[in-house]
Structure 1
Amino acid sequence: MTAPAGPGQGNGAGSGAGLRVVVADDERMVRTALRVILDAEPDLNVVGEAASGAEALSLVRALAPDVVLMDVRMPGIDGIRATEQILATMAEPPRIVVVTTFENDSYVYDALRAGAAGFLLKRAHPEELIGAVRLVARGDSLLFPAAVRALAAAHGAGGPATASWAARLTDREAEVLRLMATGLSNHEISERLGVGPQTVKTHVAAVLAKTGSRDRTQAVIAAYEGGFLMKKS
């Protein structure tokens, strides 16, 4: 077996087919563990590692991965700032999943607000990690409804409805947004509502436009912060 690559190095698989992943974490053991798990899958290729937010920015711009696993707490530029800069400066940014030790970490909420597609706990099982990368790569969000609701409440969200966009949602769009907040994918929403997948995509696109959100995760955050989703929901 070859030795694990250091920060910035790929494993040579990036030129092949499959999803390209960059792993950013200031702990080498964590990076190595994530690489071993992902590289064991034929459709996943870890093309680079970063030990800081600054390194992550450089690698992502150079390698154009599909997904980034981003530690939220790193020296210098942390995962939140790195996420913001990647999304603000790249025409076709990757999907970013923040990786954290604690689900109640306030950094997680800030990262979701910054545009991360979701978050994953470092203690997650390998199959959860693999599934998360594939999930966000196809455009879905990786949300844990109870944790996001608790984080939103801790940040003062969930009070009386104040969002002006809420009144512009149709009844079906409002229903779709509530189902998005429960963590359902487009396919699952389609089955729940008994409508076609394309119809759901149309409703999701309308929700994103009306809430001014980049993706599903930001729409859910906007729904909490605008009081559309009450604490009891």
Structure 2
Amino acid sequence: MSSIRILLMDTERLVAEGFRNLLQSFKEFSVVAVTHDEATTLRQLRRHHPHLVVMGPGAGGNGGMDTARAIRRSSRHVRIIVLASSRQPIHMREAFVAGANAYLSRDIDAQELRDTLLTVHREGVALSAAAAGQVLELVSGGLSRDASPLDLLTRREREILFLVADDQETHHIAARLGITPKTVRNYLSRIYAKLGTRNRLQTALYALRCPDFHPQSVVKT
């Protein structure tokens, strides 16, 4: 596996150095920059083009969400991992609305952190089932008792879900819908977050087992 480039951002220098040493201890990762403020983060983002941005628990004002939004505007395809001290659903929601791909507790152990970063790099998102349920309820504004998570999907997301359930590869989906493979992966990340699934297989099984999913209702282009 080629090295996964990581930009680490934390306003607390000692904390940032500790995370840098931890991440560098894993052979899969290369920390290409450590930053302590938004302006430097954006400059280093343009310079190094990292695969992942890990925002530490001291990522700055507003929990770092302003910086997360700026990162997302600057680079659509970089994946953002928020390490936070708060486990409140409202803070999780704010992180995902700001563009985060994963929201992790700062007391995560080293092996779980490694595995989660690898999942985010590979699949685009990582979210525990418990956190997914909390975020889903907040994002939806409170689903009714009989509502389905599928109701949160846009028409395009349902199209892609149908094709994933039909075992179509990413490049085939892209060609069929007239979009790029990266765009498909971005849609998949949002689908995973909304359904609380972690990968394509779980998502396909979810769709196939869900009585609310009717492929014939999907408009195919």
Query: Do the two structures share a fold, i.e. TM-score over 0.5?
Result: yes
Q: What do the CA deviations read for 1:90-112 (whole angstroms, capped 9, x no partner)?
A: 3x632111111122252321121
Give TM-score, length-normalised by structure 2: 0.65
Q: Is the 8 A contact 1:112 1:218 kept in 2?
A: no
Residue 131, structure 1, aligned to residue 112, structure 2: no
State the 1:86 CA deviation: 2.0
Aligned pairs, how many?
A: 186
1:168 to 1:130, Cα distance in 2 relative to 1, 3 A? closer
Alignment of 1:1-233 (within 5 A): 18-71=3-56, 74-75=59-60, 79-90=64-75, 93-104=77-88, 106-154=90-138, 156-159=141-144, 160=147, 165=154, 169=158, 173=161, 199=168, 201=170, 214-220=186-192
Counterpart-to-counterpart distance in 2, 1:72 and 1:204: 37
Q: Name the SS for the 2:186 alignment partner.
A: coil
Structure 2 alignment gaps of length 5 or more: 197-221
Q: How far 1:140 sits from its partner (Å)?
A: 3.4
Q: Answer whether contact 1:173 1:203 (CA < 8 A) is retained.
A: no
CA deviation digits over 1:118-143, x for unaligned, max 9? 11111001011111222111233111
Shift of residue 64 of structure 1?
1.0
SS of 2:68's partner is helix
CA distance in 1, matches of 2:157, 2:30: 42
Name the structure with the higher helix share. Answer: 2
Distance 1:222 1:144, change over 3 A: closer
CA RMSD of aligned residues (A): 3.8
Identity across the alignment (%): 20
The one-letter amino acid paired with 1:110 is E
What's 2:204 paired with?
none
Unaligned stretches of 5+ residues in structure 1 = 1-16, 177-192, 225-233
Report the CA distance shift for 1:20/1:168 in structure 2 as closer, same or farther (over 3 A): closer
